[in-house]
């Protein structure tokens, strides 16, 4: 039975690593974004930090200003 579920640990580790990299990427993106004002930046950073991956996803979809 351990052979059948052996890949889940590796998949979970890769998924966790990808989520952490995405989270850090969104923190850095928010921190260096020139489009956000001081207050907006602080609020978004708090959302990203305290809600972790959910906050990073919310920022990516709603708060991130894309260059047109």
| Span 44-59, pLDDT tens digits | 999 999 999 999 999 9
Distances (CA, A) of 9 to 1, 4, 16, 23, 38: 14, 11, 10, 21, 41
pLDDT digits (tens, 9 = 90+) for 2-35: 455 556 688 888 999 999 999 999 999 999 999 9
Tell me which residue of 11, 24, 31, 32 sits closest to 52, measured CA to CA: 24
Threshold 0.85, pTM exceeds: no
Domain boundaries, the chain: 6-63
CA distance 60 to 42: 16
Higher confidence at residue 67 or residue 50?
50
**Of 45, 66, 67, 40, the residue nearest 56 (C-alpha):** 45
């Amino acid at each position: 039975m351990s052979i059948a579920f052996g890949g889940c640990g590796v998949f979970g580790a890769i998924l966790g690593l990808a989520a952490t990299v995405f989270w850090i990427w969104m923190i850095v993106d928010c921190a260096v974004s020139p489009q956000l004002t001081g207050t907006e930046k602080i609020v978004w950073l708090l959302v990203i930090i305290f809600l972790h991956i959910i906050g990073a996803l919310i920022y990516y979809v709603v708060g991130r200003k894309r260059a047109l």
